Chain A
């Protein structure tokens, strides 16, 4: 078998089981790491005891009440973003697609910032973000979906256009807002998991969406061949596109509700996994979800410990850790 062809290594046909096992092990390790670090540092033994034994006292409270919910929220958020990224890159056949290209995070940010401006409570800010995200999805869908026909380029462009509009309004709010509020707004815009709620429900949603997407994996592969070829192979392209859009939208909204506008994960995690040689959706989907979850869990652990007691926006760390990793992967291939 030829070793190198046109600069690309001809990897062995990827076997699913060991790769999935590796991704799951990384995920478990990232969650365990998140339990170790915080304002009180625990030893691995203490964490294991706190997780396993009922009578571990203060350590048990720290692990179960404080760190585990936060770690699970980060994991679910990262997984949802990566899932939305894979789905949208398949739907739009565009390597630059991620959750935010459809204007979802822009709409959510605008809603959240508007609520912060009027001094709203956390719950109301979340509700405003949700309405903003849903509004953006509604506009994009309404503009591009007409009479059962869906033009993918129109979808992409209207998302980009809408994002630009939201970004302008967001900047306007930032400029006019009193200084004291701007910091909270910046946290929201950069992504921050401090106020993440319902981690278990988010994990359940992530699991359900991932399983649903894996069932569509063969169709997602075929969609990459183009609409015409996909239809001659018996795929109902219009219905598949609507399903993908819906799944990606739900995942994005859920992720935005958990952590605000966290960048980088949805765009880069699918590519990172592809660059490692996993390209078919049957394996790409679960591995990207596990990798995205692990990645955001580690980034969030850095965000809440490195500058303690001050917490930093996790979006800073997704980029700071992610950029060199991606550049290394890209350089390896070139």
Chain B
């Protein structure tokens, strides 16, 4: 089962951000999406999630166009961590995370027995077990980001689309979140596909198996992380000089100042 972009063009207010994009995400793969501001990363994620229709081409899940899927079935297969969320949520953290279980609800009332256990499990995975009874409104920005991630884990989709998941997180929790993501992708019980928008040029080489670079004017580079995430490619992409940081197992980069 793959999540595939077939000949996708993204057009936002008359600007073609990418043209004829084709790539496929398979379970076990972690795709890092990099590009300058406004290069279409979020638009691409929305298209992959089925929230928006591309100007051309289509997205398929196991060869079925997303549009042909029932909404709840799609939600069990594909989950999105949006970049922003405008909301005032009055309930507890556990209430919030439990909402992620909706796609698994059996009938109309919209919940079933395993919801609370699944939500608590997701909170534990994000190191938030003690947060369950807290009110969502009392959380800090970074805590909210982790709780939002926990909601996505409770949703337990086959494909996770993460739009800048590291925002508001301190270094330790950046590492923790990315380690969870890598673990999720590999298994152990069930491999999942991950597409992750990152602004950082140190993490991608350590976490991503594949990378997609969007230049924002129609072009894109997709492939194995070690082939795509080169000094030349990233310097081109961001238009600034980079210095490699020697590290195992792969190199990262820092801006040269």
A residues whose Cβ falls under 8 Å from a Cβ of B: 1-2, 5-6, 8, 10, 12-13, 93, 95, 215, 217-219, 221-222, 224-226, 228-229, 231-236, 274, 279-280, 282
Contacts and interface: CB of A to CB of B under 8 A. Distances in A.
B217 to A, nearest CB: 26
Contacts of A280: 91, 95
B111 A8 contact: no
Contacts of A5: 134-135, 138
Interface residues of B, number: 39
A20 to B, nearest CB: 15
Contacts of B89: 224-225
Given A229-B85, A236-B71, A279-B95, A13 B133 contact: yes
A232 B85 contact: no
Shortest beta-carbon contacts, A-B, top 9? A218-B110, A234-B75, A234-B72, A6-B138, A279-B90, A232-B80, A279-B91, A234-B71, A234-B103
B86 A234 contact: no
B125 interface: no
Given A229-B82, A234-B102, A10 B133 contact: yes
Interface in B44-94: 46, 49-51, 71-76, 78-80, 82, 85-92, 94
Contacts of B111: 218
A139 to B, nearest CB: 28
Given A232-B49, A232-B75, A279-B90, A226 B82 contact: yes
Secondary structure dominating the interface of A: loop
A148 to B, nearest CB: 13
30 contacts: A2-B134, A6-B137, A10-B134, A93-B87, A215-B109, A218-B99, A218-B102, A218-B105, A218-B110, A221-B95, A221-B99, A224-B87, A225-B89, A225-B99, A226-B82, A226-B87, A231-B50, A232-B51, A232-B78, A232-B79, A232-B80, A232-B82, A233-B155, A234-B71, A234-B72, A234-B74, A234-B103, A235-B71, A279-B91, A280-B95
Interface in B128-145: 133-135, 137-138
Contacts of B88: 93, 95, 224
A225 B90 contact: no
Given A229-B80, A234-B71, 19 more contacts: A6-B135, A6-B137, A217-B109, A218-B105, A218-B111, A219-B102, A219-B110, A221-B91, A225-B85, A226-B85, A226-B87, A232-B49, A233-B99, A233-B155, A234-B72, A234-B102, A234-B103, A274-B90, A279-B90
